[in-house]
Structure 1
Amino acid sequence: MMSEQNQKEFTTADAVVKELVRAGVEVAFGIVSIHNMPIYDAILREGSIHLVCSRGESGAVNMADGYARATGKLGVVITSTGTGAGNAAGSLIEAWAAGVPVLHLTGEVASPYLGTGRGYIHECKDQLSMMEGSCKKAARLRRPEQAAAVVRQAIQNAFAYPAGPVTLEIPIDFQSAIIPNHPIEEIITTAPTNKTIPSLPEEAITKICHARRPVIWAGGGVISSGASREVEALAEMIGAAVITSQSGKGSIPENHPQCIGHFAASKLTKNLLQTADLLISIGVRFRGNETSNWKVPVPKEHIAIDADWLAINRNYEATCGLVGDAKQILQALNEELCHKSITPDPSYLDEVQSVREELRAQLRATLGPYEQILDGMREVLPLNTILVRDVTVQANVWGSRLFEIYEPRTSIHASGGGIGQGLPTAIGAQMSDKDRTVVLMAGDGGFMVNVGEMATAAQEKLPLIVVLFDDAGYGVLRNIQSAAYGRQVAVDLLSPDFVLLAKSMGFAASRIGSPTDFVAELEKAVDNKKPTMIVVDMEAVGPMAKPFGGPPGAADAFKPKKL
C-alpha cells in the first residue's frame, strides 16, 4: 500500500519495487546512497518491504544470503555504485559459491557518462565486468521502460539452476524516469500434462536393485530442492550409508543410524567408499576441501543426480547421470523401487553404524574441554536452532561435524571459505524468523571483519546469540604455519575488550573461562531472547587435546618443493 507521501508519476524505481513485491519480497538489505535513493523512496512509499540498514555493503550481501539460505526465498540487497558495488563483490562470490538466489540491485552513474572516464562521482572503470566476475550473471538496465521485464528476468535467473546471485545495474538518471505503468503477464503456452513424475532409465533402477553396499552422498542440492524426506526414504529402502557435504547437512537427521555425516575425507569413510559397490550423489559439488582435492575414492558405479548439466562428470565420473530437480527424481526413484524386492544387508548396516560411531569418537577425543561445550550447546539449544559458522577452528573441527543438525536450512556456513561473513549471514538468517534461535560460531580474527554489523542486529532487536572463540589471532593459520614452517607470522592480533564492545552495541555480554560457565550463560541467552555475546576465553578454557592443522595435507601444500 502507498503511504501518504504518494506521487502521481510512475517511475522506474516504482517498477522495480512492484516486481519485488510481485516476487514475494518482504525484506531487503543495504545502504542508502545518492545512487539508489529513488529505489529506497519507492520502497518507502509502497510500504510492504522491511528495509534493514546494514553498516557495510559486504555485510548487506551476506545478510541477504543468510536470509535466502534460511528461507529458500529470494535474498535482496541494494548497494551504491563503484566502491559500494565493489564492497559487495566478495560477499557475492560467497553467495555464488553456495548457489544462493540473491538479487543485487546497484546504482550506476548517469547514463550519458557511462564508460567516459570523466570522473562522475562513484564512477567505476567497468563495474559491469566486476559484477559479472562476482556473480552468476550481471546485467544493466538500458531502457527505463524495460525495468519490469529486466527485474523479473533477473529474479528468474537467480533461481534458475544452478541458482546464484544476479546483479542488476540501474543508472541513477533512469531510476527517476517517468515510465508507463503497463502490466506484463507471463502466459503459459505449453499443453498441461498429468504426468508429473519423470520416467527413469531402467539402467539406474537395475544398478540400485543389485547394489549390496550402496552409499548416498547428499549435497546442497538436496536442501535447495526440498528433497530431504525423499533422501531419507531412499536410504532406508536400499540400506545405504549417507555422507553429506557441508552444504548438505540436514539432508537427513544427523542422529539417524545410517548418517555418516560430513566426514567424507576421513580415513574410515574412505575405507567404506573403497568397498562400496554403488554411489548415488545428489546435488553434490564435490568441493576440493571436502574430498582431499578429489583424492577420496568413489565406487566405479556412480549415479549422479543434479539440476546442473555441467555438474555431471565435473569432478567424478558418473556411469549414469540424471539431470533435473532432485525432489522429483527421487520421488520417481522411490516409487519405482517400492515395487522391487530390495532387502538391505543387515551386516552392512551394522558396519555403517559402527563407522558412524567410530568417526565421532575419534573426533571427540581431539576436543579436550571443548567436548563439554559441544554437548552443552546441543543440550541447551532447541532442535531447530539455526547454526551459522564463520571460518574458525571450533566451527571447522566440531561445529560442522559433531553438532547434530536435524532439519534442512538450519546449518549455514561459508562455502567459499572467506572469514568474517558469519555475523551478517547470521543476522540475515535471524531476520527470516525473529522467534527462532540463531547461533553464530565465530573466531575473534574473523569476527572483526564485519564487527560493525553488531549495530544492525541491535537496531533490529534480534535475539541473535554470538559465541565468540577468542584466541587473540588466526588460530587455524597459526597451526598450519607451525606445521609447515615451524614458525608463525601475521597471525597474532590485538583485539578489543569484546564484552565492553558488545555492551556498547546493545548486546548482553559475558566472558567465560570454563565449559560449565559457558552452558550457564548459553541457557540465559536462549531464555532472554535479546542480542547476546558469549566470549569463550580459549586460554582459560585450555587447549584442544589435539591441535587442528587445517584440512588433510594443508601443511604439506605450503612446504618448499620443486614443481
Structure 2
Amino acid sequence: METKQHVEYTVADAVVKELVNAGVEVAFGIVSIHNMPIYDAILRDGNIQLICSRGESGAVNMADGYARATGKLGVVITSTGTGAGNAAGSLVEAWAAGVPVLHLTGEVASPYLGTGKGYIHECKDQLSMMNGACKNAVRLRQPEQASSLMKKSIQEALAAPAGPVSLEIPIDFQSAIIEDVTLEEIKVESLPDTKPIIPEKVAAVLAKSKRPVIWAGNGVNASGASKQLRRLAELIGAAVITSQSGKGSIPEDHEQCIGHFAAYESTKKFMEKADLLISVGVRFRGNETSNWKVPVPKEHISIDADWLAVNRNYHATIGLVGDAKEILSSMVDMLERQALEPKSSYLEEVRQLRDEVRTQLRETLGPYEIFLDGMKEVLPRDTILVRDVTVQANVWGSRLYETYEPGTSIHASGGGIGQGLPTAIGAQIGCKDKTVVLMAGDGGFMVNAGEMVTAAEEKLPLIIILFDDSGYGVLRNIQDAAYGRQVAVDLLSPDFVKMAEAMHFDAVRIHSADEFVEELKKSLDNRKPSMIVVDMDKVGPMAKPFGGPPGAAEAFKPKKL
C-alpha cells in the first residue's frame, strides 16, 4: 500500500498558505530555479490555478488585468534579476493605475546578497529596482517571518490607495523548514450603522451651489461607490466628468454624464462657469487635463483615500480623506433630509454639453464611426473593453464606446504600449463568462504577441481587434504636426492572420467597416480565441487625424526654456 510522502513545512508552504487565506484563486508567472519551491508548494496545496505566461512582463499585466476586472488581488510570480527586471515595466503600469498586485520574486541565496560574486541571476540592487516600480518592495530577512511578511504585503497592496507590492524571498529561504504559525489580526469592529461625520461646512457649500460638477476617478470604482456617486449627482443636479480610469463610475448613457471629455475646449468653457467641483478618487493626470489647464472653480471638495492626493494638482477648499463609498453614503443621507432646489436650466446645459462633445468627436471618425456603432450594437452591455495605446482606442474607444459599470473599461494608465494583450488575458481569466475585447495597434501588439499562446492554452474566448497601419500611428501624426516629417515610425507588419492561426486563434483580415461588423458577430458567437485584423489602408483614414493629447505637437517644437 502506497503511503503519502511526508513533506516538511517550509517558507514556500507559508507563502501559499497566506495566499489561500487571502482568497487567492489564480496566480500568473513563469517557473524558475529561483521560485521553484513556491511553484511546488502551490501544486501540493491544490487551491490555486497557475497560469503560465510567456514572459514576466506579460505575467504582471495578466495579474493586473485580473485584479481590475474582478476587484480581487492579482498575484504574479517571477524569477530573480533579469526576470524581476522584465516585470518592472508592467509593475509601473499597475502602480500608475493603482491596482492591487502582489509580486513574488526570488533572490539569490542569502549569503551572496550584495556580494557581486556572480551568483546566477544576481542583480546589483534588485530591491531598489522593485521599489522604484512599485508602491513598496520588501525582502524576507528571517525565514520564520514569512507568514507575517506575506500578510503585511497583501494588506499593503490592497490598502487604499492600492498598488503593487513586491516581496522578494532568497532561494535558500524558500526551502527553509519552519514551524507553522497561526496569525490572526484582532480588530475592534465599529458599529454597523456608524458612518463618517460630514463637516457642516459641506452641507452649506452643497446647498449654495447652482452649477456643481463631479469629477469621478478610479477611487469611485475601487471603493464600490458607483451607486452612491450616481445618487449624489442626481440629488444635487451635477454634471459628471470621468477620468479614463473612472469610466464606469456612472453609466455613460446617463444624461448627466459628460464622460471622459475633460480636456475638450467645450468642457473647459463649461468649467469656467462652474461654482463647485467635487472630485472623488481622481489623480488629475496631465494628459487628461491639458497639463492642468482645465479650469476648476474656487470651491473644491476633494474626496480621496490618500492624504497626499489633496492639493496635489488642484487646490481644494475642503478635503475629505477616507473611503469614497462611506463618505458619499453619508453625503447622500445628509442631502436626502434636505429640500434642494431643482436645477432644470443647468441640467439642460449639461445635456447640451454631453451631446456637443460627442458630436464633435464623431465628426472626426470617418469610416470608423461604423466600427464604433457596430461594437455598441453587437457587444453585450457588460463587455470588458481593454485598450492598448493606439489611435482608435484613444480617440473613440476611450470616449464614445460607452461603459456602464465598474471593471469593464481597462486601459494603460501609464501610457506604455503593448500591455493590452496580457491585460485582456488576465481580465478574461477572472471573468470567464463575460465577453472581453481588446483594441490594439500593430506596433504595440508585437511587444507581447507571444502571449497569444497563453490565451489559446487557456481556451479563452478573447476577441482581439487589431488595427494594422504598419507603424506607430499616434507618433506619425505628432511628428507631422511638430516637425513636418517622420522618423522611426514605419514598421514591417507580419501576416497577422497566419501568425494568429499558428497560435491557435481564429483570424480574419477585413478591408471595410461593414465586413468588420459581420466578423465581430461571428467572433462573439464562436466563443473561441479570435482576431480581427483591420487593414487600415483599405478602410481609409479618419476624417481628422489624431494628433495625440492636447498640446502634444507644440510641446515638441524647438523653444527657449
Query: After TM superposition, is the score higher than 0.5?
Result: yes
Q: Which letter does structure 2 place at the counterpart of 1:53?
A: C
Tell me how far 1:196 sits from its aligned partner.
Answer: 1.9
Tell me how far 1:342 sits from its aligned partner.
Answer: 0.7
Query: In the alignment, does 2:256 pair up with 1:270?
Result: no
Tell me how far 1:192 sits from its aligned partner.
Answer: 4.1
Q: Deviations over 1:381-418 (max 9, x none)?
A: 00000000000000000000000001110000000000
Instruction: Specify whether residues 6 and 349 from structure 1 end up closer, same or farther in structure 2 by C-alpha distance, changes over 3 A only.
Output: farther
Structure 1 residue corresponding to 2:231, chosen from 214, 225, 233: 233
Q: Which letter does structure 2 place at the counterpart of 1:133?
A: G
SS in 2 for 1:216: strand
Q: Which letter does structure 1 place at the counterpart of 2:419?
A: Q
**Number of the residue aligned with 1:159:** 158
1:383 and 1:437 map into 2 onto residues whose CA distance is: 9
**Number of the residue aligned with 1:418:** 416
SS in 2 for 1:131: helix
Q: Deviations over 1:102-138 (max 9, x none)?
A: 0000000000000000000000000000000000000
**Number of the residue aligned with 2:293:** 295
Q: Which letter does structure 2 place at the counterpart of 1:210?
A: K
Contact 1:5 1:45 in 2 (8 A): no
**Number of the residue aligned with 1:257:** 255
**Number of the residue aligned with 1:82:** 81
Q: Which letter does structure 2 place at the counterpart of 1:226?
A: G
1:7 and 1:76 map into 2 onto residues whose CA distance is: 28
Contact 1:479 1:549 in 2 (8 A): yes
Query: In the alignment, does 2:115 pair up with 1:103?
Result: no
1:411 and 1:316 map into 2 onto residues whose CA distance is: 26
1:23 and 1:329 map into 2 onto residues whose CA distance is: 26
Q: Which letter does structure 1 place at the counterpart of 2:66?
A: Y
1:208 and 1:432 map into 2 onto residues whose CA distance is: 40
Query: In the alignment, does 2:304 pair up with 1:306?
Result: yes
Mapping of residues 330-345 of structure 1, within 5 Å: 330-345=328-343
**Number of the residue aligned with 1:35:** 34
Tell me how far 1:50 sits from its aligned partner.
Answer: 0.3
Contact 1:212 1:344 in 2 (8 A): no
After superposing on structure 2, the runs of 4+ consecutive aligned residues of structure 1 that deviate more than 3 Å are: 4-7, 190-195
Q: Which letter does structure 2 place at the counterpart of 1:235?
A: A
Q: Deviations over 1:428-454 (max 9, x none)?
A: 000012111000000000000000000
**Number of the residue aligned with 2:407:** 409
SS in 1 for 2:360: helix
Structure 1 residue corresponding to 2:515, chosen from 497, 514, 517: 517
Contact 1:258 1:349 in 2 (8 A): yes
1:345 and 1:317 map into 2 onto residues whose CA distance is: 26
Tell me whether 337-346 or 88-97 shows the greater mean CA deviation: 337-346
Counting aligned pairs with the same residue, the percent is: 75
**Number of the residue aligned with 1:397:** 395
**Number of the residue aligned with 1:198:** 196
For normalisation by structure 1, the TM-score amounts to 0.99
Aligned residues: 560
Structure 2 residue corresponding to 1:556, chosen from 549, 554, 558: 554
Contact 1:6 1:45 in 2 (8 A): no
**Number of the residue aligned with 1:506:** 504
SS in 2 for 1:440: strand
Query: In the alignment, does 2:530 pair up with 1:529?
Result: no
2:153 and 2:420 map into 1 onto residues whose CA distance is: 26
**Number of the residue aligned with 1:143:** 142
Contact 1:393 1:476 in 2 (8 A): yes
2:155 and 2:47 map into 1 onto residues whose CA distance is: 21
Contact 1:253 1:259 in 2 (8 A): yes
2:73 and 2:432 map into 1 onto residues whose CA distance is: 18
Q: Deviations over 1:320-354 (max 9, x none)?
A: 00000000000000000001111231011011000
Mapping of residues 38-53 of structure 1, within 5 Å: 38-53=37-52
**Number of the residue aligned with 2:209:** 211
Q: Which letter does structure 1 place at the counterpart of 2:357?
A: L
1:459 and 1:515 map into 2 onto residues whose CA distance is: 31
SS in 2 for 1:62: helix
Structure 2 residue corresponding to 1:359, chosen from 340, 345, 357: 357
Instruction: Specify whether residues 92 and 211 from structure 1 end up closer, same or farther in structure 2 by C-alpha distance, changes over 3 A only.
Output: same
**Number of the residue aligned with 1:443:** 441
**Any gaps of 5 or more consecutive residues in structure 2?**
none
2:49 and 2:250 map into 1 onto residues whose CA distance is: 33
Tell me how far 1:251 sits from its aligned partner.
Answer: 0.5
Q: Deviations over 1:230-266 (max 9, x none)?
A: 0110111110000000000000000000000000000
Query: In the alignment, does 2:195 pair up with 1:221?
Result: no
Instruction: Specify whether residues 6 and 504 from structure 1 end up closer, same or farther in structure 2 by C-alpha distance, changes over 3 A only.
Output: farther
Structure 1 residue corresponding to 2:346, chosen from 345, 348, 355: 348
**Number of the residue aligned with 1:10:** 9
1:283 and 1:319 map into 2 onto residues whose CA distance is: 16
Tell me how far 1:194 sits from its aligned partner.
Answer: 5.0
1:445 and 1:316 map into 2 onto residues whose CA distance is: 35
Instruction: Specify whether residues 457 and 260 from structure 1 end up closer, same or farther in structure 2 by C-alpha distance, changes over 3 A only.
Output: same
**Number of the residue aligned with 1:57:** 56
Q: Which letter does structure 2 place at the counterpart of 1:218?
A: A
1:8 and 1:262 map into 2 onto residues whose CA distance is: 54
Tell me how far 1:162 sits from its aligned partner.
Answer: 1.2
Q: Which letter does structure 2 place at the counterpart of 1:421?
A: Q
Q: Which letter does structure 2 place at the counterpart of 1:96?
A: W
**Number of the residue aligned with 2:373:** 375
Tell me how far 1:209 sits from its aligned partner.
Answer: 1.1
Q: Which letter does structure 2 place at the counterpart of 1:151?
A: M
Tell me how far 1:191 sits from its aligned partner.
Answer: 6.4
SS in 1 for 2:61: helix
Q: Which letter does structure 2 place at the counterpart of 1:247?
A: S
**Any gaps of 5 or more consecutive residues in structure 1?**
none
2:189 and 2:16 map into 1 onto residues whose CA distance is: 32
2:296 and 2:127 map into 1 onto residues whose CA distance is: 40
CA RMSD for the aligned pairs?
Answer: 1.0
Tell me how far 1:193 sits from its aligned partner.
Answer: 3.3
1:76 and 1:85 map into 2 onto residues whose CA distance is: 14
For normalisation by structure 2, the TM-score amounts to 0.99
2:6 and 2:63 map into 1 onto residues whose CA distance is: 29
